[in-house]
Amino acid sequence: IKSLSEQQAANVSLRKETERQENLEEFRRFETRFFNLIELQRLGFDSFSIEINSSPKQSLKGAAAAAYIEKFVMALVESEESRNKIKDEIEKSDPNDHLYSLFRRFYLIVKLINEKLNEDEKGEYYEALINLSDMKLLCMICIIISFFDWDNVKHIKESGILNKDGLRDYVAFFQGN
C-alpha cells in the first residue's frame, strides 16, 4: 500500500512537471512568433512607400512617407476638413493599400497577444509592442484608427493598446476630441 501511494505521488509529480514543460514550450512558441512578427512589421514599415504628386513626382519610403502623411493629415484636421474628405485624401496618397498592410501586421501581433496570454501578461507585451514599434508606424496606426472602419480596427480599439502614454491624446487629436 505504501509503495502504491509513493507511486501515485510520483505520477502526480511527473504529470505536473510534464504540464509545466508543455506550458513553457507553448510560451516559447508564443515569444518566437511575437518577435518574428515584430521583425516582419519592421521590414514592412521600412518598405512602406507612397508617391507624391509633386513636380517632379516623388516617392517616399518608411518613416519619411509616414511623416509626410502625418503632417498632411494634421493640416487637414487643423483646417477642419470633414472626416470623409480626410479619409479620401489618405486613400489617394496610398493607392496600393500599404497602410492596410502596415495596420494588419500590427493587428496580427495584438491578436496573438490577446489569444495566447492571460490578462496579467497582456499589458507587458502590449508595452513591448509599443516600445519595439517605430514611432512613425504608431502615428500611422493612430491615424488609421481615427479614420477607417475596418474590422481589425475595431479589434485594436477594443484591445485598449492605444490607451496609454501619448497615444490616446494623439488619437483624440485626429478624431477631433
For residue 133, the tally of other CB atoms under 10 A from its CB is: 19
pLDDT digits (tens, 9 = 90+) for 36-58: 999 999 999 999 988 887 667 78
pLDDT digits (tens, 9 = 90+) for 60-93: 899 999 999 999 999 999 999 998 999 998 988 8
Query: Strands, DSSP E only, in the chain?
Result: 49-52, 58-61
pLDDT value at position 50?
A: 86
Give the C-alpha separation, 107 to 55, whole Å.
36
Max intra-chain CA distance, the chain: 91
Residue 161 in grid coordinates: 493598446
Contacts (Cβ under 8 Å, ≥6 apart) of 62: 45, 46, 47, 48, 49, 136
